[in-house]
Amino acid sequence: MSTSNPALQPLCTSSIIGTGSYLPEKVLTNDDLSKIVDTSDEWITTRTGIKERHIAADDQATSDLAAEAARRAMTAAGVTPEDIDLIVVATVTPDMFFPSTACFVQRKIGATNAVCFDISAACSGFLYALQVARHFLNAGSRTTALVIGAEKLSSLVNWEDRNTCVLFGDGAGAVVIRAVDADTDAPGRVLSTVMGSDGTLSDLLKVPGGGSALPITPENAASRPNTIHMEGRETFKHAVTRMCQASEQALEMAGLTKADIAMVIPHQANARIITAIADRLGLPEEKTFVNVDKYGNTSAATIPVALDEAHRQGRIKRGDIVLLVAFGGGFTWASSVLRW
């Protein structure tokens, strides 16, 4: 891929200075699910690699999960709520259509100086939000940003559909990013980001009802149009192809190769997808971070949660090249390269 297009050049002036994550207390195991729908631990594990997922309490909204992840990221970064001047929340399960979930997070953490808005790019949302926040920081209009991926997907799950209800969980992850000089060797530096979309494939993964195109009415409510609908086989195929392409493009933009990767943190949707991506990139198991078994697919939250865990577990170290890559409904996809 040529990098002659200035719009695709890495800006390299933002660094991640803190990470945080939060998973709700309630754990729903595969055995628990087998009491709800016709499934089993063996069936789910074999096809997805998922063993359990976390489910938010009835009185927990997406903003509650996001705010707790944000607090932990700010503590790790050593910043105060007043230091935050931008909050971007990636989510497809907002508290409500408006105000934005980011505004609720602002209120809950006391970030009175922040500009706040949401991004909807499904499972790619966190990497989209990271790139948008980088542009604000690189332009000099903001200095310190909270980028959050947060989902309460249990609110969109059809618990009678065994093909989808076994896949999803709730959670939130956050990073604090700060503007740095372009020639600095600051840790956590974002070297490059690639993003893409293909709206012609939007019907393969969607929540068709609840918006202006298909409002929920007494007549259609029984068919559950406001829940997740997915064509699994086709989604799998496109996910692997696009995530591998985006990974290779992001590495090239950063002037790196696959051999430079110390850790890849892929979207945690399905263990088979993760294995296929690692195989195509030629990466051994120890260079691939996996936590889908514990949390399932938490959409926009998967990558920031996994990044926080990898950091806290010592799986990534100062100077490591870390590849982040995601794919989601839209279809959307994105990949970022970090020098940790």
Q: Which residues are catalytic?
A: 123, 267, 297
Place of tokens 């699994």: 232
Handedness of CA 281, 286, 289, 291 (dihedral sign): positive
Please give the Cα distance from 305 to 307 (Å, whole number): 5
C-alpha pair distances (Å), 269 with each of 8, 47, 162, 231, 237: 27, 11, 16, 14, 13
Do the Cβ atoms of 247 and 335 come closer than 8 Å? Answer: yes
Closest by CA position to 169, among listed 39, 297, 324: 297
Name 87's bridge partners. 116, 146
**In contact, 30 and 40? CB cutoff 8 Å:** yes
